[in-house]
Amino acid sequence: MVKKIVIREFDASKDCMGVEDVERRCEVGPSGKLCLFTDLLGDPICRVRNSPAFLMLVAATADHDDILGMIRGCIKTVTCGKKLSRTPKTTIHHAAADHPTKYVPVYTKLAYILGLRVSPAHRRMGIGLKLVEKMEEWFRENGAEYSYIATEKDNVASVNLFTEKCGYSKFRTPAILVNPVFAHPLPLSQRVTILPLSRSDAEILYRSRFSTTEFFPRDIDSILNNHLTLGTFLAIPRGVYTHDTWPGSDRFLLNPPHSWAVLSVWNCNDVFRLQVRGVSLVKRTLARTTRVLDRAFPWLRLPSVPELFKPFGLHFLYGLGGEGPEAGRMVKTLCGYAHNLAKEKGCGVVATEVSARERVRAAIPHWKMLSCEEDLWCIRRLTEDFSDGSVGDWTKSPPGLSIFVDPREF
């Protein structure tokens, strides 16, 4: 006899243990590859808590209130396209009047679904579909125009649920690039200067150069001011500016050097931990050997495998981009700097997610065995009513060169 199932809002006072139990039994990872287990550090809703609007739903039995599944969702306003500017942008940053932008962003209210889980013993009962439909009701009630999800392209069950039953279409295929944190710090290019930016300078730079990038969050200031953002760092050729001569982003943008790059670091270590499972004893022993050799002979700078078979933390690199012929070298140096910061904080890996067409992608250090070369984003149009008709249906738009990945949803 099929139990009656109810979909309701997550109640932290009674649902935490049930949710954690389902999470433990739903190990996630591409089939045939290393399996990642996610530990949400006792806060099942932590991965959406920093978003402007968020909700978590659970599927529970009507009689004993046993948790069988859950889903998380959030809503934000992002860039979905761009249009020609008829007047100079004088309200976004101080330098705009002297450096007019040809295009301005077109925003839309976007919803994101993540953390859909159904207990293995209760799959193929329509629970996942009910959770998605209930979450989409909340999206519409709160004015979202689109909904999207990210999943592994070879997760057949997830892809079929969203594309065949929920009306989503395949939209973008970014790459998740993961690099291990070694026992030794990485050397940085002596030809590059790295400057930490203030939050106000970081916001000016991002809004000036990245606001028309697809998925750019309009509340970028909230992300930069969040306690999980450890800093924003700018790479420029050595000799252009120092910490003492930095003029601020306003003046920098008036006359930037021939090449530069930027990124921000988000501390996922305080949100969740990961653990690699499904690895043979032989491979574990080999990984341990590389760490021993790296610590014993640090000057050799061996590519050691960190301890990933116990819970480990990560730093996520977001807002990564740059301009100029040497932007790739600048990005590589910034990634090395971020690696060394992650080493100081005790993280196991650093990760980022970039568009399949991102120009500086080749310069981002990563290990293929830890990375996902082709993640899959699927999208659905929730409403026919658009505030700006200049973009049309976003779901039918071709991909751009870059995307802006919100660290709150990684």
Rounded CA gap, 172 and 167, in Å?
16
Q: What is the pLDDT of residues 2-37, one digit of tens each?
A: 568 999 999 999 999 999 888 888 765 443 344 556
Please report the pLDDT score of residue 97 as a whole number.
42
Architecture of the domain made up of 177-363: 3-Layer(aba) Sandwich (3.40)
Q: What is the pLDDT of residues 184-218, one digit of tens each?
A: 899 999 999 999 999 999 999 999 999 999 999 99
| Strand ranges inside 238-332, DSSP E | 260-267, 273-277, 314-323
Report which residue type is found at 137.
Answer: E
Q: What is the 3-state secondary structure (H, E, C) of 143-164?
A: CCCEEEEEEECCCHHHHHHHHH
pLDDT tier for residue 160 given thresholds of 50, 70 and 90: very high
pLDDT tier for residue 387 given thresholds of 50, 70 and 90: low
Q: What is the pLDDT of residues 79-92, one digit of tens each?
A: 999 988 776 544 44
**Span 382-401, mean pLDDT?**
77
Do residues 229 and 265 make contact, with C-beta atoms less than 8 angstroms apart?
yes
Q: Global pTM?
A: 0.89
Task: Reply yes or no on whether the pLDDT at 393 is more than 80.
Answer: yes
Ranges for all domains in the chain classified under CATH 3.40.630.30: 5-173+376-409
With CA atoms as reference, report the closest residue to 73 among 24, 7, 132: 132
How many angstroms separate the Cα of 95 from the Cα of each of 208, 232, 249? 9, 20, 9
Assigned token pair, 100: 């007019």
Q: What is the pLDDT of residues 300-309, one digit of tens each?
A: 777 787 888 8
**CATH no. of 5-173+376-409:** 3.40.630.30
